[in-house]
Every structure is written in C-alpha cells, then in structure tokens.
Structure 1
Amino acid sequence: MIHHFSIAAKNPQHVAGVIAELWRGRAMPFPPVAVGSWVAFAGDERNTLIEVYPFGCELQPAEGDADATAVVNPQASRFTASHAAVASPLEEAEIFAIAAREGWEAKYRKRGGLFGVVELWLENSVMIEVLTAEMQQEYLAARPPGAPA
C-alpha cells in the first residue's frame, strides 16, 4: 500500500487544495523538506497524503546521517512519468466540474478495457487518475490471475 507520494506543481498550495477536495480532505503547508510545499490529506484511516513540492524541486540524497534535500532544477520539464491512481468519494460529474473550474484537462479513459479512470491533469502537467466508487470496484476486479491479493 502507498501511504504518501510527492509531485511538483507551480502552485503547490492550490494543487494540494484541489487534491484535498477530490478526497473531501484538507490541505496545509508542509515545509519540512522544501520551502513552499503543501500537503493534501485524505483523512482516511491510513493517513493517506500527497506532498506537493514547488515546480522544479528534485529530492537528492544528503551526505552522512542527514535527510534528503530539495534542490530546484531550473531546466525541469513540465511533464513527468510520475502519476498515481487515487480513489475519490466524488461522482464523475463532480470530478469533471472541478477540472472545468480549474481549466485543467480531464477525460474518461478505460484502461486496457478493464477499468475506468478520469485522467485529471493537475496544472495541465501532472496526471492523476481519479477513480469513483464504481471505477474502484472495476480496478479491484481487474487483478491479473496469480497476482498477490
């Protein structure tokens, strides 16, 4: 299971707020690693969250007995291979309404003909796949034979 992951955004506060809205959760500042970072909390029993760092932040290992550090890369691309599928209590129409309000691209896709997702492009740069309750059931039913339960 994944408890948290991080992404980068031009406006971390706003993006964290929208992600929290998808979960009916909350967002708050999260500066321990990078100044200007925010975090979206799902408010679930696993304390699921997404950290949103300023655009261009790269986590790099620190020397010796120290935490990783955040360094800004001025040459960063606006796209990344990093993405996540996130469960949402919202209906599909609510997800599309949020995307429209934000001016962010969103579309329904059926992955491999097995389960549906809403591709929501945060700031039109970072994709998250948002799954409604029905899509979550499709996703769970799509477990390949022999895969761990």
Structure 2
Amino acid sequence: MIHHISIDAHNPLRVASVLAEIWNGKAYQFFYPNSYHVMPCDHYGTGIVVFPKGTVWVPGADTQSAHLLPAVSTDLVAIHAAISVPTTQQQIEQIGQREGWRVLTREQGDGPFRLVEFWVENRILFEFLPPGFEPQYLQTMQPKMIEQILGQPIQPIAVQG
C-alpha cells in the first residue's frame, strides 16, 4: 500500500486546494516552505505532498536523512498515480475545466479499465477512479488478468549486477 507520494507544482497552494476538493479532504502547510500536504482523512494516512516546482529529494550523507533542495526540473514528469476518489466523474471534469487543466475520461477499450486522466497544471498525471470505476481497476490488476493482458506468465526479473 502506498501511503503518500510527493509532487512539485508551479502553484503548490492551488494544486493542493484542487486535490483536496477532489478528495473531499483537507490541505495544510507542510514543513518545507511553500509546501502543502493533502489528505482525504482516511484511516490509512493517505496523502500527497505538493512542493514548489523544482524541489527534489536528495539522499543524506552517511547517517543523515534525506533532505529537500530546490533544483532545476523539466515541465513533464514520469510520476503518476492512480487514486480512488469520492468525487464523481462529472465533478472531476468540472474542476479540471475550471482550472484550465486537461481532463479526459478513458473508457475501457482505450485501456484495460476506465479512469479519469486529470493533468495537474497540464504536466502531472493523476488517474482518478471515481465511484464505480474502482472495481474494474481492482479486477484488472490481479496477477492472472495481467498475465492474460501480457499473453504470458509474469516472470521474475533477474537483477543485473
């Protein structure tokens, strides 16, 4: 289970506010300047931390913990997440339109399951699963179904040394 992820944004407060709205959750100031933590207030401790654009995690030296630094970043990122939300497909589409962000509902056939592509700041992809979308996702993401999609058994990948 993934409990939280972090992203960066041009406007962290706005992004955190929008994500909190979609999640029917709350956003609050995080410990790093101009950063916010969004949570749906569930019993899993689920959350998304939104940092200012270009903020990166850096490994600490020796026994020091990781820390945050501002850095140069590209506009698009490889990070994305599929998240079940209580908000309806129509509400998500309306919020995206209001923000000027790309929103696309992907039907089954366009992929293995239905989802709503929600492009935060038109650069970070969240795949939202509104009510009714989650069962199809959960059914698809089982090992036997993945093997059917791949057309072969799932094989362990050998670590190259």
> Normalization by structure 1: what TM-score?
0.90
What are the residue-to-residue correspondences of 1:1-149 with 2, within 5 Å?
A: 1-31=1-31, 34-74=32-72, 76-110=73-107, 113-142=111-140, 143-145=142-144
Deviation at 1:41, TM superposition (A): 0.6
Secondary structure of 1:134's counterpart equals: coil
C-alpha distance in 2 between matches for 1:29 and 1:81: 25
Look up the equivalent residue of 2:132 and give its one-letter code: E
Structure 2, unmatched stretches of 5+, are 147-161
> Normalization by structure 2: what TM-score?
0.84
Structure with higher Rg: it is 2
In the comparison of the two structures, how many residue pairs are matched?
144
Q: More strand by proportion, 1 or 2?
A: 1
Structure 1, unmatched stretches of 5+, are none
Look up the equivalent residue of 2:103 and give its one-letter code: A
Look up the equivalent residue of 2:67 and give its one-letter code: T
Q: Compared with structure 1, are the counterparts of its residues 96 and 146 closer, same or farther at alpha carbon in structure 2 (3 Å cutoff)?
A: closer
Look up the equivalent residue of 1:86 and give its one-letter code: I
Look up the equivalent residue of 1:138 and give its one-letter code: Q
Q: Larger relative contact order (C-alpha < 8 A, sep ≥ 6)?
A: 1
C-alpha distance in 2 between matches for 1:64 and 1:52: 27
C-alpha distance in 1 between matches for 2:59 and 2:21: 32
